[in-house]
Amino acid sequence: MGNAYLIFNIFIVVAALAIIAMLFLANYRLHEPLPQEVVTSRGYTLRRYWFWLVLVVAVVTFAMTIPYFPYHAAGASASAKHFSVVAQQYSFSVPAVVPVGVPVIFDVTSRDVNHGFGIYGPDGAIVGQVQAMPGYTNHLLMTFTVAGHYTIRCLEYCGIAHAAMQAGFDVP
């Protein structure tokens, strides 16, 4: 999923609704005061529905996200091409060209400290990332559908030149 702006819009809408609702409910000018027992008896009744709504939304959303988990490289197509990525202070060794339209697996590791292998698409948005760890190899399964130049940025603080650690590859 490469749609951080969609996430941002969801955030803005839901946050705005929450802020407006909470301010509305607290405004002393809009509502006549009521004894606490009346407010709580209504409130507790409503809360039962609110609880079930929140719980159902949480569980259903959780279930819906599972197909999009990125952990299936191990069971991925045997024909997927493997590319080795080695991160170190302060550079990445990456392939120069990655094929378009086919699943590829990046085998990512590090020579020294934790780094983050962050892939930014030609439009500047993140399309995938995985941690680069010393002593471990992480497998990132990706299929590139858009041709262009992809930029790699380090996405885990690794030292003084963390912000300068960059690489790139092309998808023809």
Partner 1 sequence: MQSRAGARVMWIYLGTGIAIFALMTLAGILLRAAQAGWIPVDPGTFYSILSLHGVGMIVAMAIAGLGTLWYLVRREIDLDERIAYLAYGFFIAGVVSAIISVVPGRYGSLWTMLYPLPFVGTYWPSWATGAWLIGNALVMLGFMLWCAQILGALLEKYGGVRGMLAIDYVFAKRAFTEAGRKPPPPAMFAAAITAFDGFITGMVGLVIGTALLVHLIDPSVAIDPLWAKNLTYLFGHSIANLAMYMAVAGVYVGLPMCTKRAYHTSPQLAVAWWATLLFVIIAYFHHLYMDFAQMQWMQFVGEIASYLAAIPVVVVTVYGGVMLVHRSGMRWSLGSMFLYGGMIGWVVGGIGAVLDATIPANIDLHNTLWVPAHFHTYLLEGVLLFTLGWAFVNLEQRADAVSSLMLRWLVGLGMFGGGALFVFAFYIAGAAGVPRRYAVEPAPGPLWASVATVGAIVFFIGFAICVFEGVRLASLPKSDVTA
Partner 2 sequence: MNRRSIAATILLLATIAFALAPLYRSAVDIPIPVHHVLHAVMMAGTALAGILFAGSLARERRGGAPWLLVAMFAPVFAMILMWPSEYSYFELHPYGHIAEHLGLIFLGFAAGYGGQRYANGIGWASGIGIVAMAVLGVWGYGVAPTTVAPVAATPSAPAAAAAPNAAHGSVLYTQNCAVCHGVAGAGGEGPPLKNERVRKSLTAAEAWIENPAEPMPKLYPGTLSAQDVADVAGYIETLR
Question: Quick one: which segment of 38-46, 79-87, 93-101 binds partner 1 (CB under 8 A)?
Answer: 38-46
- For residue 84, what are the β-bridge partners? 107
Please, what is the minimum distance in Å from the beta carbon of residue 170 to partner 1? 19
Selection from partner 2, partner 1, none that 91 binds (CB < 5 to 8 A by kind) is partner 2
Q: CA 105 to CA 99: how far, in whole Å?
A: 11
One residue of 45, 56, 65, 147 binding partner 1 per CB under 8 A? 65
- In this complex, which beta carbon is closest to partner 2, that of residue 86 or of residue 100? 86
Written as six digits, the tokens of 75 are 């069971």
Examine residue 114 and tell whether it contacts partner 2 (CB under 8 A): no
Cβ nearer to partner 2, comparing 86 with 105: 86
Dihedral over alpha carbons 51, 52, 53, 56 (to 10 degrees): 130
The half-sphere exposure of 21 on its side-chain side, counting CA atoms within 13 A, is 6
